[in-house]
Amino acid sequence: MLNKNKKPDSVVYNEDSEQFDAFLKPYSTSVSAPVIEPTDLTGWKQKGAHSVNARFQARIDELKTAYQKMMKELEDNQKVYQASFKFEPVIGKTYHLYHHPERGLFLSILSPEECQFDFEGSYRLDADQTWSRIDS
């Protein structure tokens, strides 16, 4: 059954607002209007995808570098905390890690010039109880 109030397809009528609203459309509504051809966006998409991929790859590289740095800090902290020492380290002070051939790693206040054992590195105890390596 046909609805008697139905407008022809060439008439732009909004049944919700009950108004003719062809003038509100962002596109032409006339049958004689020029054909709308979609723009070829392939170049734009490829350029955008390349740019985004480069940005994400740079961020991934930054995260990898940060991860490697954090893992090195973790390794250093584990090494110092597993070393033997018979004193309570003071926050902010520098201590030196040495390797004794028979007793393994130990932490000392003696500088590398004052100690004959294999020097492993110098570390400072930070306020958050982490050890920061202060030499290369």
In a domain, 3, yes or no: no
pLDDT of residue 98: 97
Radius of gyration in angstroms for the set of CA atoms belonging to the chain, rounded to a whole number: 37
In a domain, 47, yes or no: no
Q: For the chain, what is the domain count?
A: 1
In a domain, 20, yes or no: no
In a domain, 119, yes or no: yes
pLDDT of residue 136: 53
In a domain, 100, yes or no: yes
In a domain, 130, yes or no: yes
Which structural domain range is residue 99 located in?
Answer: 79-136
In a domain, 123, yes or no: yes
Q: What is the CB neighbour count within 10 angstroms for residue 108? A: 17
Q: What is the mean pLDDT of each successive set of 10 residues along the chain, which is 136 residues long?
A: 64 77 76 81 94 98 98 97 96 96 94 93 96 85
Spatial neighbors of 120 by CB under 8 A, at least 6 apart, are 79, 97, 98, 99, 105
In a domain, 4, yes or no: no
